[in-house]
Structure 1
């Protein structure tokens, strides 16, 4: 693709006028650029094009915000990316290639204010036995086998902790172990029945030493993704504050962080029943459904499941996601504290690798919006430059 053709297509994309084949062509261009640099224009020209597009996108976002603010001066206007925001992320190719996105955007802003940087979270968790004994799972090495009450745990080559119960008798079903992840932690465990659980940061799962002969019950705080082994004779239930999810065998995600204001359960495959324990109201979910419990209400929506499970696959995925929600994810993953009174009403689109450092994530959002972040110690504040 030559420079003139690329500039023409990029301009059409920013205006929302490209067709499907043209979108594919633009994405493929940047995919090749990011993976192996296989392009037919010089680095100088490529940098010039990228810089020009970025400035055009930022100008259009600013013009749109000015227009909306003028139209309704009494209403707080969201600095949402609209179509131009999608262009900022997709045309520049920043977020399509995961961990290399930062290298595709090397335009610094003079007022960046980062006192220090923070690495991403990693695999770490604590196993708490039914007798209160605690085991740091980070100390386990691949192939290690640990004898515990009621069975053994093994560290697999993939980093999973596999729990093997020595007995499936009912006399152990009321004695619970738990695995918890700290801020900046994640972990995967295979339960005694073979079900797989991915724990997000600041989360905890409680499970019996051995499941009973007629049911499989676990308790969750925080967020986890489940792949439940099918067992028609023993339903699998997940209890979190205000909710019980019951399944026989399926894949789903539960986000029950108290600071999120609602318990959200997203079904990937199979079917599940979601019950509001406050009202006893229940709903049956099908794939693509997400339930949301707000104290005494239970609602079901159709959603794209990718956004809910992106964390499990190593990404932040934003789809008209408000900045306060994004910053709560950042707090849990990077172990920082956000001053929420400074967070403007902004929404983002995009996909960012969770293996990125905090500064890379923040700089990307700065470059594609009017938001400016200030990091002092472990505290983050921000301002909306477009509102000045």
Structure 2
């Protein structure tokens, strides 16, 4: 029976083979393993023949095999049993290295083996979210920004705003004297968008979120209203504090980097850099870098946190750290625009991992299944999570 070290070594060889990086000695070692069993050949071909591989093979250049295995070893205890064939374990170990190291589910693991021949299954899948948003202007007009490259020109012939490659920006000179009013940027399910406000503040808006902001800031403050989740890099201006209002909470800053999430009935403000003041119920509290303020039913709890967990979405990743499966599925619900149905009682186990948001839904579900053993099925745009063992 294969040992964990052998699984690691074989996984390394498979990855290097796919990347065409085998040395002469490794080539001999790989061929010896390959010729040892038809099942080995079928396993490798199942990776090579996956429909997504050729489009995404360039991502393999970023693989750090040693780090990938170190990460995977923490999550998956490779213990062969009578009910888990070594080939399946090897498939998950090699694939998990790819997913964790590259941060992208390169393989869909959907190959079927019949009569000794490999057959790739045609499986219904859902692509990840993309740059999608709708901008509602103060005059009531609506602009679909999805994949849009556009520019709006003012009366003097100069652009007042433009959108390009998923970024919306405003010309501060042309917006300074606009008549008062509010714009609203909204992202749907499976959508995200970046915006640069007239003062230079950068905002990344996550899926199912919105930001209401004035056509021009007044001379005393810069105030916006948030629903959902957004990451802010606020342009410094000591004379004009930047304020974010959400639920019954307000965050005030002069210039800093922070994330705010208002999903699930409670809000989280995570400070990356600088300082912010969180006011709830008229009571202000200061946050330091690396701290998070959780507001739930009017109560504020401030604690140290892993800041990357809060901003991973902005960096293009799902980053789970001691999360319940239901919390993980809530993220997939928003990013893939699917409905979630649960069978049985959701378990209380907590899971950690890292998957790129560019992965297809099936790729994400396969990885979660490999780590947790939870069964998933996809029909249309509905994911059924089966906790019945």
TM-score (normalised: structure 2): 0.74
CA separation of 1:302 and 1:28: change in aligned 2, threshold 3 A: farther
Selected match of 1:374 from 348, 373, 377: 377
- Distance in 2 (alpha carbons) for counterparts of 1:302 and 1:27: 37
Q: CA offset at residue 296 of structure 1? A: 1.5
- Distance in 2 (alpha carbons) for counterparts of 1:183 and 1:306: 22
Structure 1 residue 270 corresponds to structure 2 residue 270: no
Aligned CA RMSD, in angstroms, stands at: 3.8
Q: CA offset at residue 92 of structure 1? A: 3.6
- In structure 2, the residue matched to 1:352 is 355
Task: Describe the SS at the equivalent of 2:189.
Answer: coil
- Distance in 1 (alpha carbons) for counterparts of 2:99 and 2:111: 12
- In structure 1, the residue matched to 2:251 is 245
Unaligned runs of 5+ in 2: 45-72, 85-91, 115-120
Q: 1 or 2 for the larger relative contact order (CA 8 Å, sep ≥6)? A: 1
CA separation of 1:304 and 1:43: change in aligned 2, threshold 3 A: farther
- In structure 1, the residue matched to 2:282 is 280
- Distance in 1 (alpha carbons) for counterparts of 2:113 and 2:246: 44
Work out whether residues 30 and 92 of structure 1, in 8 Å CA contact, stay in contact via their aligned partners in 2.
no
Unaligned runs of 5+ in 1: 11-24, 64-86
- In structure 1, the residue matched to 2:57 is none
Work out whether residues 15 and 94 of structure 2, in 8 Å CA contact, stay in contact via their aligned partners in 1.
no
Task: Describe the SS at the equivalent of 2:366.
Answer: helix
Work out whether residues 90 and 96 of structure 1, in 8 Å CA contact, stay in contact via their aligned partners in 2.
no
Q: Summarize deviations over 1:278-335 as a string: whole Å, max 9, x none.
A: x223221111111100022000111111111111111101111111111111111111
CA separation of 1:355 and 1:148: change in aligned 2, threshold 3 A: farther
Q: Give runs of aligned pairs for residues 285-296 of structure 1, distance below 5 A.
A: 285-296=287-298
Structure 1 residue 227 corresponds to structure 2 residue 233: yes
CA separation of 1:31 and 1:274: change in aligned 2, threshold 3 A: farther
- Distance in 2 (alpha carbons) for counterparts of 1:308 and 1:109: 41
Task: Describe the SS at the equivalent of 1:153.
Answer: strand
Q: CA offset at residue 344 of structure 1? A: 2.3
Paired residues, number: 333
